[in-house]
Amino acid sequence: MKKTQIVVPCYNESKRIKAEAFLGALEKDPNLSFLFVNDGSTDDTFNVLQSLKEKNTHQIEILNLEKNSGKAEAVRRGMLKSLEGSFDNIGYWDADLATPVSAIEVFCSLLDSRDAEIVMGSRVRLLGRNIQRKAARHYLGRLFATCASLLLNINIYDTQCGAKIFRASDSLKKVFQKPFKVKWTFDVEMFARFPMVTGKTLAEISSRWIECPLDEWFDVQGSNIKPKHFIKGGGEFLTLCLYLRTPARKIYEKYLLDS
């Protein structure tokens, strides 16, 4: 059976971590494990994670970052640590479980059955699916996703969903090797790095990427995302345009590929 590790970035999540859900997923699948990244939390998150680990020491790891670095860096550090292990699939998942842990099994099945490199959640409002998202966040998200799709020049519906699983590879390690230039929109930058580290076109690479419409997704109360972050996201999008669509791309590629 293939082994999967999911990186879970945590910043001040002590009151939102659903211990029973995480432990239940591990009990159901002995080949699944979680790496919780405590991103310099100032609340009781680290102690909550330690308590969780004590209940399953074999399938739970903790990476403790002393200073808050932001989700992008927490995910990056966690992914690199996971890539040091003997896992077949590696992903990252939002700590609040806006995407239920039950989707992990679905994603891993798609990786195998479709010979995919990436499976990512997509929050699509369809009949028969329960996607509960605030209207403002939904429409701002659609605007950003459309811009991201144009920037990357691929048809992608939802770049920002915090549920993604990858097939472990040397290319994946190269994608996460260097810190991201943006924080809130790092997923877009991550996708753009794949052609740079593989020498293939994004169209070729993305042919093995799958967006999986989620059965359930909930806007969890207490989210760290605030309205000001959408403004920051707009500024970061301009930064990505600079690095991906101007002569500065060569400088960025050198930064990414230099060892």
Q: Which pLDDT does position 227 carry in this prediction?
A: 57
| Sequence-ordered alpha helix ranges (H) in 89-134 | 102-113
Domain annotation for the chain: domains and CATH numbers? 4-257 (3.90.550.10)
Residues in a beta bridge with 37: 9, 63
| Sequence-ordered alpha helix ranges (H) in 158-226 | 170-177, 186-198, 202-206
pLDDT in tens, 167-212: 999 999 999 999 999 998 999 999 999 999 999 999 999 999 999 9
Residue 247 CB coordination number (10 Å): 7
Q: What percent of the chain clears pLDDT 90, i.e. is strictly above it?
A: 85
Residues in a beta bridge with 93: 163
pLDDT in tens, 68-98: 999 999 999 999 999 999 999 999 999 999 9
pLDDT in tens, 13-30: 999 999 999 999 999 999
Residue 33 CB coordination number (10 Å): 20
Q: Does pTM top 0.85 for this prediction?
A: yes
Identify which of 198, 209, 191, 152 has the alpha carbon closest to the alpha carbon of residue 174: 198
The model's confidence at residue 230, banded by pLDDT at 50, 70 and 90, is low
Strands 163-167, 118-122: pairing kind: antiparallel
Residues in a beta bridge with 217: 131
Taking the C-alpha atoms of residue 83 and residue 117, their distance in angstroms, rounded to an integer, is 15
Taking the C-alpha atoms of residue 35 and residue 142, their distance in angstroms, rounded to an integer, is 30
* Look-up of token digits 């991103």: 39
